[in-house]
Structure formats: structure tokens, C-alpha cells
Amino acid sequence: MHDAARGDDAAPFDALLLLSFGGPEGPDEVIPFLENVTRGRGVPRERLAEAGAHYELFGGVSPINAQNRELVAAIEKEFAAHGPALPVYWGNRNWRPYLADTLQRMADDGVRRAAVLVTSAYASYSGCGQYHENLLAARAEVGEHAPELDKLRHYFNHPGFVAPLVDHTLAALERLPEQLRAGARLVMTTHSVPTVTAETAGPDGNAYVEQHLETARLVAAGVARALGRPHMAWDLVFQSRSGPPQVPWLEPDVGDHLVQLHEDGVPAAVLVPIGFLSDHMEVVYDLDVEAKAAADRVGLPIARAATTGSDPRFAAAVRELVLERAASVRGGHPDRCALGSLGPSHDVCPLGCCPDPRGRGAGLRGAALLDR
């Protein structure tokens, strides 16, 4: 076992904060939610209406908040069983419970310094830099009694994130007709982002794609190992593109790719949404409805793997990440668990890491980081 997993000393942290995207929980909340998400972000009105229609198909309720409540419960269970005795709070960027309200409650409860887990495993402006900006803005809003906040490192290559994806991919393969399984392609998917966002992700750039390629390799290797095969064929593709058409985003799109696989004679595919922590709207609509329709049109059988979600192995990984970071903050050198060859990600994002492609907020973030 790793050093960090043995003890349960979380000092100087006195809480864990789960920070997520948020989603509407009723038809009246869809438009205000979408306005929050897209404020100042140059998303065309047509795309907004289209996204609104996806939520309406599900009664205006995104699954993401319920999934985050489950994750909080799973982490609380893990902490209760193995320590540390930390309360777990939850706040969102775009919907209730809003981050600033949660942070105020933490301050009122006397929390001084919290570890922060974001529900994105990877580097990018949307999944890292923007969350940093949200943390700074919320601390500024709460004022001088706001707790100090330490965002935990990216966990794309942590076994607690990867192992459930391997199991869920194996389960999805089982749902394909038996005679098609041997030739099935693993199609790993993640959120597309503008190419400039991808190029500037992480301390040295390009971390968004590099980290996804690593997770994809790890999942495919785990599946091959479980099946006793030398390797599994896989691709990394992108989904849920938004923004104006003239701005380049990462490609290929998952739907186009499924059609291409069919034309290439691939008999079946398993979609593995490695880019997301839970089966939220981008998964249950963009994959299960949209990509499924594209596959059906050409007659390509597909199955979709579940995300990691609130798997107990992930809850255990969160515990490890908290204890490991606490040990580092105390000046120690804990083992920092990571699979593959990229190694454990940095704890503190350096200046200029994952900047806003639209250039807002960079000054605010830079100044606050220099303050440390």
C-alpha cells in the first residue's frame, strides 16, 4: 500500500469540497442554467436552443446533481470506514448549490482549509483553469473568513479512476452479440474543446489530449489483460462540440467516426466515455441518443460503457489523494500513485497553465497565484 493510504492524518485540511459543473433539476431551470454556462463564452443561440432541447427530453432534469450527491455519499462512507474524519461539502460552477454559497457555509462552520476535488480528471481550461477561477471568485465573495482551498491533482491515471472504466468496458463488450466481440473497436470519447484550448492545456501545452491518450491506453490495456488478448484496438474521439462553426475544435466527432468505422468494415464498437466522471447529460444524450442514432443509421452495433461514477474504488482514490496532498502540504514526500508512464500530475498548477482561450480571468488567476 502507499504511505498516504495508511494513516488518516489529513491535517491541515479540515474538510473536503467536491466542485462540479451543476445542472438543472426541473424544466424552469434549464434556460437560466444554460445562461450561466454560456455567459460571455460565445456560444451561438442556435446551439443553446439545441442544448435546451436535450434537457427537455429528460424533463428538464440533468442527472449530474443526483450523481454528485451519490459521490458525496460514497466518499463519506469511505471516510467513515477508514478516516480521515473530514466533512464533505459540495458546490457547483453553474447551478445550485452554487460554490460561493457552499463556501460561505464552510466558513460559517469554521472550516479553515479544504482539499478540493473537481469532477474533471484532466487538464484544460474548462476542467481545470476555469475551476481555479471559480474558487478564487468564490473566496473573494466570501471575504476574509473564506477557507483556504487546495485543488487536488488530476486523477486521469489513478487506478481508482481507471479500474472501474476497465470493468465497465468489459461489461459493455458482453452486451454486444457474441460473434462481434472479437472484432469490436473501443471508441474512447471525451468532450471536444477548441484546438487553442487543447494546445494550451497543462504546464507545457497539449496536456488535454496527452492525458486522454494515456487513460485510453490504460483502459485498453486493462481490457486486453482481462480478456487474455495481446491488445485491444482503440481510438480517441470527441463529442459535444459547441461554439461557432468557424472556430476549430478537436476532431473527429464520435458520430462521424462510427460511420467511418462501419465503412472500414469494423463489425461493432464499444463507446467508453473516459472524459467524464459520471453518466451526465453529455453521456446520456450526446452518446446514448445522438451517437447511437448515427450508428443505427449505418447498422453498426454499439454498446456504451458506464463512467467511473461513485465506484467505491474511486471513493478510496479520493481518500488517498486527500491524505497524500495533506502529507505534501506538511512537507513530507508521500507516494503518489499513478499508472502508466506520465507519472502523477503536479499538485499546484504553474502560472499560465490551462488559460482561458478568450483571455478573460488570466490576470486575476495569475495575481492570486503569485500571492501564495
Ligand X SMILES: CC1=C(CCC(=O)O)c2cc3nc(cc4[nH]c(cc5[nH]c(cc1n2)c(C)c5CCC(=O)O)c(CCC(=O)O)c4C)C(CCC(=O)O)=C3C
Q: Which residues bind ligand X (CB under 6 A)?
A: 21, 23, 34, 37-38, 41, 43, 47, 51, 62-64, 119-120, 124, 126-127, 191, 193, 240, 242-243, 275-276, 280-282
**Grid coordinates given for 272:** 467508453
Would you call 4 helix, strand, or coil by DSSP?
Answer: helix
Nearer to ligand X, 23 or 160 (CB): 23
Residues 73, 3 contacting (CB under 8 angstroms): no
Nearer to ligand X, 240 or 308 (CB): 240
Greatest CA span in the chain, whole angstroms? 63
192 is in an annotated binding site: no
For residue 130, the minimal CB distance to ligand X (Å) is 7
Residues 71, 41 contacting (CB under 8 angstroms): no
For residue 37, the minimal CB distance to ligand X (Å) is 5
Closest residue to ligand X, Cβ-based?
A: 242
Nearer to ligand X, 24 or 159 (CB): 24
Of 158, 249, 148, 263, the closest CA to residue 198 belongs to 249
126 is in an annotated binding site: no
Nearer to ligand X, 86 or 354 (CB): 354
Nearer to ligand X, 234 or 276 (CB): 276
Q: Which residue has the cell 452518446?
A: 287
70 is in an annotated binding site: no
Would you call 151 helix, strand, or coil by DSSP?
Answer: strand
CA atoms of 185 and 233, how far apart (whole Å): 6
Helices and strands (H and E) in the chain: how many: 15, 8
For residue 61, the minimal CB distance to ligand X (Å) is 9
Beta bridge partners of 113: 148
For residue 204, the minimal CB distance to ligand X (Å) is 19
Range list of β-strands (E), the chain = 15-20, 88-92, 113-118, 148-151, 185-191, 234-239, 269-272, 302-304
Nearer to ligand X, 191 or 257 (CB): 191
282 is in an annotated binding site: yes
For residue 200, the minimal CB distance to ligand X (Å) is 13
For residue 343, the minimal CB distance to ligand X (Å) is 22
Contacts of 362 (CB under 8 A, 6+ apart): 352, 355, 356
Of 59, 119, 94, the closest CA to residue 307 belongs to 119
- Binding-site sequence positions: 62, 131, 191, 282
- Binding-site sequence positions for Fe-coproporphyrin III: 62, 131
- Binding-site sequence positions for Fe(2+): 191, 282
